[in-house]
Chains A and B, each alone.
Chain A
């Protein structure tokens, strides 16, 4: 197929994640899953794997599944090992002539299932080199259990386990940089993206991840209207602001080569992103200006480092 992205052609493909699933309106996860699966060539089959998550309980509630492809969920912390098990079965059965056609293996897990409890399983699967794609839909907290902090939650964010009190205000620690940790695994392809605009960035990266041999990892920012506390109609706006403030830069690392895939024409101040979300509202109270300054300084230093890596 042509590698030139054409939105019209892509959306005319039959859907692989059908409507009628139970995800919230204004949630990034469904948009991301549909977007990634759209990158599959029409004739190829996939086995989709989920970690336990909002996504899983919303897309496969017995006896209904929203997936047109085969699907497996087993537990919270083992989606990478699960995907590697399906891939291992495929290799064995293919070798024995017992399975036909091209099958791709794609895992979706949230940040809790990826940065935290599923981290060992992910690292192991990437090191073993299974031909699979692992997609983290990163909504920056344990949303399925009711918004608890994860190691992906950004500093100062309010969650139900990092409340706003007099002795402590939101999350103390900075967000773990999982994408860089995956780069350190020396796998063929690592990408960070978000569902913005016409999906060109997400689609192109998903296609590369699916059709690059070996283990590939995608970290995709996935706003959550409940956890981030924004009106559901603002999903697209918030995602765009995360990218344009450089809170969530879009880049990829292909065979060790870093490349920035989107550079904002004008890097916006971080409060443009923060101010739309209830989870950061305390940062805008009088006396808390230092929080915004620290958040800005952190984003700036990460951005500078990324530019060094990508040689911009």
Chain B
């Protein structure tokens, strides 16, 4: 093990080098561009066996990964924002062909208008594509999550692609001191990719990607759904194994000061750092505040989340993407659905914030907790779905 200062992008590229995948589809888009850039140097210096395919679009990047993985090769790529949107059709193909590709998604707001900064509109748009989605709070988690991705997705009982997500610029470009595992430890942990059947297997030709009529399509989709459900247990198993080599423990979500919390915030990614500071401050003031950081969004840990929130009085889900459902952001609708089965449900509101990289401060989070306390005290829920941090017409004047 060694400590090193690295950006999130470099950390993922370093993990990629340690894993030494067979094929990489490479195409630039801000802010994930550095991942294929760093990796190109590993290729140029002969440090990896990877066939590095410099495609002409993200669409082809995912197409190359699908084909290569089907052919028997462990395949990877990285993208952001519009790049992920361009892959949209193929994300479904990858998942339905049961190809455990790994994609490093560096989250960035979707156009339009064009914006290069962070929110989750890109990967949230792909949330129903059949990919496992794991989100990182910081550079260490970005590195760790990527190393855990393949043992999760490639497991014969799962066989689903995995998207590891980190916050664009905030995580991808900020440099932090992180702990790197030894390469032989990583390679041993990840293991070799050994699919049962693949296109290049000599003994048994394989056909992939049929026209699947209604007599079969539903069975295939149900199998895919069952695998997504089974992935929860697999993610926990892999995390337990990872804790043994790294000393770092992970679960489906992180509970921060939740043991006796009356007011809780549910959010994802790097905002958790800001929220933890707010929780600490409020705890000093005697407010029983707590935080849940969702790490695994697909499969969604609904039952576990409901249990974790069962004893709270009021909860705010903070969505860093607009779902345009007219009914709250995607994290909110999932959370509200998860809480439905609780006998005594806490009050629940949704706050959409940080779109296109709009900053959020500790004081903003404190205000959210204050609002939760007021709701609990008054019994008045008020507006359920609101936005935070945008200027009003008066402000603009």
Per-residue contact bits, chain B 14-51, to A (CB 8 Å; 1 contact, 0 not)? 00000000110100000000000000000000000111
Q: In B46-74, which residues have CB < 8 Å from any A CB?
A: 49-51, 53-57, 59-60, 63-73
Is A121 located at the chain interface by the 8 A CB criterion?
yes
Among B23, B59, B202, which residue has its beta carbon within 8 angstroms of that of A89?
B23
Cα A184 to Cα B50 with chains together (Å): 30
Tell me, rounded to whole Å, the shortest Cβ–Cβ distance linking B187 to chain A.
13
Residues of B within 8 A of A67 (CB): 205, 207
Cα–Cα distance between A45 and B205 once the two chains are bound (Å): 9
In the bound complex, CA of A45 to CA of B56 (Å) = 28
Chain B residues contacting A75 (CB-CB under 8 Å) are 63, 89-90, 93
Binds A, one of B208-216, B301-309, B338-346, B364-372: B208-216
Q: Is the CB of A82 within 8 A of B57?
A: no
| Partner of B210 from A49, A60, A84, A86 at Cβ < 8 Å | A60
A128 interface neighbour in B54, B63, B89, Cβ under 8 Å: B54
Known: A92-B22, A92-B49, A120-B57. A72 touches B205 (CB 8 A): no
Q: Is the CB of B211 within 8 A of A84?
A: no
CB-defined contacts of B93 to chain A, threshold 8 Å: 74-75
Complexed CA–CA distance, A75 and B216 (Å): 19
Find out whether the CB atom of A65 lies under 8 angstroms from the CB atom of B202: no
What number of B residues sit within 8 Å (CB to CB) of A? 43
List A contacts of B51 (CB < 8 A).
88-89, 91-92, 95
Closest to B217 in A: A62
Note all chain B residues with C-beta closer than 8 A to A276.
Answer: none
Given A61-B210, A62-B212, A85-B53, the answer on whether A72 and B73 have CB atoms closer than 8 Å is no
CB pair B211 A85 closer than 8 Å = no
B66 adjacent to A74 (CB under 8 Å) = yes
When distances are taken between beta carbons in the complex, the residues of chain A under 8 Å from B240 are none
A125: chain B residues within 8 A (beta carbon):
60
A71 at the interface (CB under 8 A from B): yes
Q: Across the interface, do A93 and B66 meet the contact criterion of CB distance under 8 Å?
A: no
**CB closest residue in chain A, given B200:** A99
Give chain B interface residues in 196-228, CB to chain A under 8 Å. 199-202, 205-213, 216
Q: How far does the alpha carbon of A71 sit from the alpha carbon of B199 in the complex, in Å?
A: 7
Question: Which residues of the partner chain B approach A232 to less than 8 Å between Cβ atoms?
Answer: none
A47 and B55 contacting across the interface, CB-CB below 8 Å: no
Which of A57, A93, A120 contacts B56, CB < 8 Å?
Answer: A120
Q: Are B207 and A70 in contact (CB under 8 A)?
A: yes
A70–B200 CB distance below 8 A: yes
Give the nearest-CB partner of A56 in chain B: B211
Contact A95 B211 (CB under 8 A): no
Once the chains bind, are B199 and A88 in contact (CB under 8 Å)?
no
Among candidates A83, A92, A120, A127, residue contacting B73 with C-beta atoms closer than 8 Å:
A92
Chain A contacts for B56, CB-based, 8 A: 120-121, 123-124, 127
Interface string of B367-381 (1 = CB under 8 A from A): 000000000000000
A96 beta carbon closer than 8 Å to chain B: yes
**Closest CB in chain B relative to A261 CB, distance in Å:** 31
The yes or no answer to A101 lying at the interface (CB within 8 A) is yes
CB-based A-B contact count at 8 angstroms:
163
Chain B residues, Cβ within 8 Å of A312: none
Q: Does A73 contact B (CB under 8 A)?
A: yes
Q: How far is the CB of B13 from chain A (nearest CB, A)?
A: 18
C-alpha gap A213/B284 in the complex (Å): 71
How far apart are A147's CB and chain B's nearest CB, in angstroms?
19
Q: B60 to chain A: which residues have CB within 8 Å? A: 78, 81, 84, 120-121, 124-125
Q: Is the CB of B23 within 8 A of A47?
A: no
- A88's contact among B53, B90, B206, B212, by CB below 8 Å, is which? B53
Q: Decide: B211 and A60 in contact? CB cutoff 8 A.
A: yes
**Do A93 and B57 touch across chains, with their CB atoms under 8 A apart?**
no
Q: Is the CB of A93 within 8 A of B64?
A: no
Chain B residues with CB under 8 Å of A73's CB are 208-210
Closest chain-A Cβ to B67's Cβ sits at a distance in Å of: 3
C-alpha spacing A25/B75, complex, angstroms: 40
A63 at the interface (CB under 8 A from B): yes
Question: Which residues of chain A from 34 to 54 have a CB within 8 Å of any chain B CB?
Answer: 45, 47, 49
Known A78-B90, A86-B199, A99-B72; contact A72-B216, beta-carbon cutoff 8 A: no
Q: Is A100 an interface residue (CB 8 A)?
A: yes
Query: Nearest chain-B residue to A127 (Cβ)?
Result: B56
Pairwise interchain contact A85-B64, C-beta atoms closer than 8 A = yes
Cα separation A123 to B60 with both chains bound (whole Å): 11
Is the C-beta of A77 less than 8 angstroms from some C-beta in chain B? yes
Query: Which B-chain residue is minimally distant from A96 (CB atoms)?
Result: B49
A98-112 contacts to B, CB under 8 A, are: 98-101, 103
Q: Are B64 and A68 in contact (CB under 8 A)?
A: no
B51 to chain A, nearest CB (A): 4
Chain B residues positioned under 8 Å from A83 (CB to CB): 67
The smallest C-beta distance from A164 to any residue of chain B, in angstroms, reads 32
Which chain B residues border A47 with CB–CB below 8 Å?
A: 71, 199-200
- Please judge, given known A-B contacts A92-B51, A120-B57, whether A61 and B213 are in contact too, CB under 8 Å: yes
Q: Digit string of A8-34 for contact with B (CB within 8 Å is 1, else 0)?
A: 000000000000000000000000000
Question: Which listed residue (B65, B75, B199) contacts A72, Cβ 8 A?
Answer: B199
For residue A49, which residues in chain B have a CB less than 8 angstroms away from its CB?
Answer: 67
Quick check: A71 and B211 within 8 Å, CB to CB?
no
Interface pair A71/B208, CB less than 8 Å apart:
yes
* Most chain A beta-carbon contacts within 10 A, residue among B66, B69, B70, B199: B199
Q: Which of A57, A60, A75, A85 has the most CB of B within 10 A?
A: A85
Chain A residues with Cβ under 8 A from B199's Cβ? Answer: 47, 70-72, 86, 89
What's the minimum C-beta distance from A288 to chain B, rounded to whole angstroms? 40
- CB neighbors of A among B105-140 (8 A): none
Q: Across the interface, name the chain B residue whose C-beta is closest to A64.
A: B210
**Please, which residues of chain B bring their CB within 8 A of the CB of A127?**
56
Q: Which 4 A-B pairs have the closest CB atoms?
A: A85-B67, A124-B56, A89-B73, A89-B71
12 cross-chain CB contacts under 8 A? A60-B207, A62-B210, A70-B200, A72-B199, A81-B63, A85-B65, A86-B67, A88-B68, A95-B49, A96-B22, A96-B49, A120-B60
Show the binding face of A for B, using Cβ within 8 Å. 45, 47, 49, 56-57, 60-63, 65, 67-75, 77-78, 81-86, 88-93, 95-96, 98-101, 103, 120-121, 123-125, 127-128
- Beyond the given A47-B71, A70-B199, please list 5 additional residue pairs across the A-B interface where CB-CB is below 8 A: A74-B67, A75-B63, A75-B90, A78-B60, A96-B49
